[in-house]
Structure 1
Amino acid sequence: MEKLRDFVSVLLFLGLIFHCGKVLALKSEDGSEEWGYVEVRPKAHMFWWIYRSPYRVEDPSKPWPIILWLQGGPGASGVGIGNFEEVGPLDTSLKPRNSTWLRKADLLFVDNPVGTGYSFVEDKSLFVKTDWEAATDLTTLLIEIFNKDANLQKSPLFIVAESYGGKFAVTLGLSALKAIENGKLNLKLGGVALGDSWISPEDFVFSWGPLLKDLSRLDENGLQKSNSIAQKIKQQLEDGKFAEATDSWSELESVISVSSNNVDFYNLLEDAGSGDIAALELGLFQKVSMKRYSKYLTSLRSSSSSPGGGDDLDKLLNGVVKKKLKIIPENVTWGGQSGDVFTYLSGDFMRPRIDEVDELLAKGVDVTVYNGQVDLICATKGTEAWVSKLKWGGLKYFLGKDRTALYCGSDKTSTKGFVRSYQNLHFYWILKAGHFVPNDQPCVALDMVAAITQSPAT
């Protein structure tokens, strides 16, 4: 209860930043946290939250890094899910997280795109419709935050993404580089990390059926149905019918759910529950698929850090956290516009971003790809498929290299994963992890982050 009071009692504000009579940002008394809104376009408001690490090590040869965490969805909240359920300092019970990524870097969480989490638009026409529009808004936010803070400019920024956030990460990476080159953005881009990322939807939908068949979760009939819809999606993508491909993706997920007796798309070793089977059998594909996706948006799942699942997260973010932050408008509900975010991006949802990864590599940006072994929605099989399509000149040498086994701590008997690196491309295979790698394998994820950021922390 004392921790809860400490968390809420932020009349401890040192800094109030005003602009045109409006409070845009607040800062904790000790300066360890800062949060606020950036109006990235008129009437489009993006929320951000920075944590400064108590583990910071000052090393002139290795600047202390900062990680920008981008959640998926589109429409999932980094401030909520990434922060309280995966890598932030506190879990959903407001207890300290031993595996917080603050051990290796400062953390910047953003509710992106506008309409996600605490971010909001005053007019529905302001929702973004493409990944590039989202990247432009994020670049505007970075300009507002970094250009005004000389200390932040000393830290290399690493964009780390999960799920659909990977598409935002690669478009933002290129957009930010352009702004840096043009002198509009004062920061150093350290690298981009793509965790279980939706970079090539076509490769993922083609991976689902064969993978589940090999694991006895689908039979021949289920595989045939899956492959048939995947072929339809492939043709729609070739024809540029991206919105139609999104509808077919929804249909494919539903067919796989019925054929597999509701496999969990975020951990293929688990069941997602059978409550939706009747609706699926009636052909209500879109309704059930969106319901499943909304469970991701509000993280309605059980986890070690969130015993009560997403209901607790929703109460937390719309209750004690909103009270602490003090600048969330009364009429803004955390996650209240998330469904609209997905709807407006449905025309870009199935569009691949392999070319953008290629462009980052060609520009010399460090790109890390990491994947959980038992993820289905962004299965490793699909990730390996799109990586093999890269036109990057180093790909042949990358694919020819042997992998290195990963362990954690002093235990060198239990393999936690593998890594392969060549020049500026790195690939991590994380064993016994599903879609939410930092949650499922916190130790190896933290070691991976240390390697990505070259953090001076021990």
Structure 2
Amino acid sequence: MQLLNLKGFILLLLLLLQCLSCVQARRGFGGSEHDWRYVVSEYTARPLVIWLQGGPGVASSGCGCFEQLGPVDIEGRPRAHNWVQHMNVLFIDSPVGTGYSYVEPHGEYAKDNKQIAQDLVTLMNAFLCQHPEFQLVPLHIFSESYGGKMAPEFALELYLAQQRVELRCQLRSVVVGNPWTSPLDSTLSYAPYLLQLGIVDQRGYSEIARVAADIARLVYNKKWLAALEQSSRIQEVIEEHTGGVFLYNTQRRVHVDDAYRYGEDPKLRSFMLSNVTQALNLTHMSEWMVQNATVFFQLGDDIFKPAIDIVTRLLNETPLRVGVYSGILDLLCATPGTVNWISRMQWQRKLQYTKAPRRAFRIDGVLEGYEQRGGGFSMFWVYRAGHLVQQDNPAAMSHILREFTNYG
């Protein structure tokens, strides 16, 4: 789908719709028939959920769709807890240059969070013009990790564009999972989190805390790129003192020879090139990558900047519901750091949130986590999950989906 704006950027959309009654399909992958157009009737009776991946530069078309929440996995097998069975899901490869998306002229990558958000608004404007039936469908933005910076600003810019009557949509909520919304809060939580779990001793705590303090000084002096560079050092120190604990789930069993990182299952790239690229007839596109390092480095000056002010604006200036969910086994965006920036955040109805009871939630009688709601804001602490809640604890994720969309 080509979108003509000042930059002439192109983003690929993968739209997977709830299958209620299939029409003629085309041969796809995984030993069955698939269709990548509309394949259902009455699909507009279900909400539209946008999924934004993290990284920045990890592709929603791969990691989100085939590793986490799409209808089939990278073995071509049906996924029991997929989102597509309940709602319309729009996987967007963003920022531009990620996954199947690319930019024209070459090199016009996003440099900051606002540019990412404005690009996404341009995309949505074109999408809603081409598919006006979705202008009246409830719209929800979900994301994880670096999406915890992208999604709130995207939601704000989309809401403002709607207020200016530049487009028509029914945006209702924005929800971020294990978010990189306040990078420094996440970083400062590493040492105490690891010490309290018994993963490091006092010496390890002290050395990790020392590097975190160095990063804090750089952030306070707005030396953003230097802070990002130093973040590599803190991961080296963590590896040294933990024996290589898995950053995305401290309790996951990971073999010393495993090469898996966030969105980088060794099998994923081969699967996408051999199956998805062929099935979607995108062989003429630039080669699909799990994560585009160029996208990451082009955002280098912005990665450590916080986006708490954007979340505050959403709560103060819009009627949108805002949610955060956090798998408590994650280290990279550890829950204590997330709780810290939420506790400092000030908005007009905050007292409703702080006075609201924190309740346990159970699925089929099993305790899956805790939730607190009030003042337009919701927080979910999720058991048995790390960075990828929808993958680690799909039952809890379904509970969160229902809370915002009434589906899941």
| TM-score of the aligned structures, taking structure 2 as reference length | 0.90
Q: Which amino acid aligns with 2:261?
A: K
Q: Which amino acid aligns with 1:68?
A: I
Please provide the CA RMSD for this pair: 2.2
1:247-326 matches, cutoff 5 A? 247-270=229-252, 274=256, 295-296=261-262, 299-300=263-264, 310-326=265-281
State how far apart, in whole Å, the 1-side matches of 2:290 and 2:87 are. 30
Q: Is the 8 A contact 1:163 1:378 kept in 2?
A: yes
- Secondary structure of the 2:81 match is coil
Is the alpha carbon distance of 1:334 and 1:41 closer, same or farther for their aligned partners in structure 2, counting shifts above 3 Å?
farther
Is the alpha carbon distance of 1:422 and 1:216 closer, same or farther for their aligned partners in structure 2, counting shifts above 3 Å?
same
State how far apart, in whole Å, the 2-side matches of 1:76 and 1:252 are. 22
Q: Which residue of 2 aligns with 1:234?
A: 216
Q: Residue deviations 1:34-85, cap 9 Å, x none?
A: xxx545554532111111212589799xx52110000000000001111111
Q: Which residue of 1 aligns with 2:306?
A: 352
State how far apart, in whole Å, the 1-side matches of 2:256 and 2:70 are. 32
Q: Which residue of 1 aligns with 2:379?
A: 427
Does residue 87 in structure 1 map to residue 69 in structure 2? yes
Q: Is the 8 A contact 1:66 1:106 kept in 2?
A: yes
Q: Which moved more, 1:236-245 or 1:67-76?
A: 236-245
Q: Which amino acid aligns with 2:361?
A: L
1:67-106 matches, cutoff 5 A? 67-106=49-88
* Structure 1 position 254, deviation (Å): 1.2
State how far apart, in whole Å, the 1-side matches of 2:120 and 2:302 are. 17
Q: Is the 8 A contact 2:59 2:291 kept in 1?
A: no
Q: Which residue of 2 aligns with 1:47?
A: 12
Q: Which amino acid aligns with 2:338?
A: T
Q: Which moved more, 1:429-438 or 1:328-337?
A: 328-337
1:138-157 matches, cutoff 5 A? 138-157=120-139
State how far apart, in whole Å, the 2-side matches of 1:358 and 1:49 are. 31
Q: Which amino acid aligns with 2:17?
A: R
Q: Is the 8 A contact 1:262 1:271 kept in 2?
A: no
- Secondary structure of the 2:279 match is helix
- Secondary structure of the 2:169 match is coil
Q: Is the 8 A contact 2:141 2:151 kept in 1?
A: yes
Q: Which residue of 1 aligns with 2:357?
A: 402
State how far apart, in whole Å, the 1-side matches of 2:290 and 2:81 are. 30
State how far apart, in whole Å, the 2-side matches of 1:39 and 1:334 are. 22
Q: Which residue of 2 aligns with 1:161?
A: 143
Q: Which residue of 2 aligns with 1:379?
A: 334
Q: Which amino acid aligns with 1:215?
A: L
How many residues are paired up? 388
* Structure 1 position 147, deviation (Å): 2.2
1:18-33 matches, cutoff 5 A? 24=1
- Secondary structure of the 2:300 match is coil
Is the alpha carbon distance of 1:419 and 1:161 closer, same or farther for their aligned partners in structure 2, counting shifts above 3 Å?
same
Q: Which amino acid aligns with 1:405?
A: A
Runs of 4+ in 1 over 4 A off after TM superposition: 55-60, 271-276
Is the alpha carbon distance of 1:337 and 1:93 closer, same or farther for their aligned partners in structure 2, counting shifts above 3 Å?
closer
1:48-63 matches, cutoff 5 A? 48-54=13-19
- Secondary structure of the 1:420 match is strand
Does residue 137 in structure 1 map to residue 119 in structure 2? yes
Is the alpha carbon distance of 1:250 and 1:366 closer, same or farther for their aligned partners in structure 2, counting shifts above 3 Å?
same
Q: Which residue of 1 aligns with 2:27?
A: none
Q: Which residue, out of 324, 327, 333, partners 1:369?
A: 324
- Secondary structure of the 1:407 match is strand
State how far apart, in whole Å, the 2-side matches of 1:85 and 1:325 are. 18
Q: Is the 8 A contact 1:372 1:431 kept in 2?
A: yes
State how far apart, in whole Å, the 2-side matches of 1:95 and 1:331 are. 26
* Structure 1 position 404, deviation (Å): 2.1
* Structure 1 position 329, deviation (Å): 4.9
Is the alpha carbon distance of 1:271 and 1:87 closer, same or farther for their aligned partners in structure 2, counting shifts above 3 Å?
closer
Does residue 112 in structure 1 map to residue 94 in structure 2? yes
1:186-197 matches, cutoff 5 A? 186-197=168-179
State how far apart, in whole Å, the 1-side matches of 2:19 and 2:60 are. 21
Q: Is the 8 A contact 2:248 2:387 kept in 1?
A: yes
* Structure 1 position 336, deviation (Å): 7.3
Q: Is the 8 A contact 1:41 1:137 kept in 2?
A: no
- Secondary structure of the 1:116 match is coil
* Structure 1 position 393, deviation (Å): 2.3
**Which runs of no fewer than 5 residues in structure 2 stay unpaired?**
21-39
State how far apart, in whole Å, the 2-side matches of 1:311 and 1:323 are. 19
Is the alpha carbon distance of 1:149 and 1:57 closer, same or farther for their aligned partners in structure 2, counting shifts above 3 Å?
closer
State how far apart, in whole Å, the 1-side matches of 2:254 and 2:229 are. 21
Q: Is the 8 A contact 2:71 2:85 kept in 1?
A: no
**Which runs of no fewer than 5 residues in structure 1 stay unpaired?**
1-23, 25-36, 277-291, 301-309
| TM-score of the aligned structures, taking structure 1 as reference length | 0.80
State how far apart, in whole Å, the 2-side matches of 1:315 and 1:384 are. 38
Q: Which residue, out of 175, 190, 194, partners 1:212?
A: 194
* Structure 1 position 420, deviation (Å): 1.1
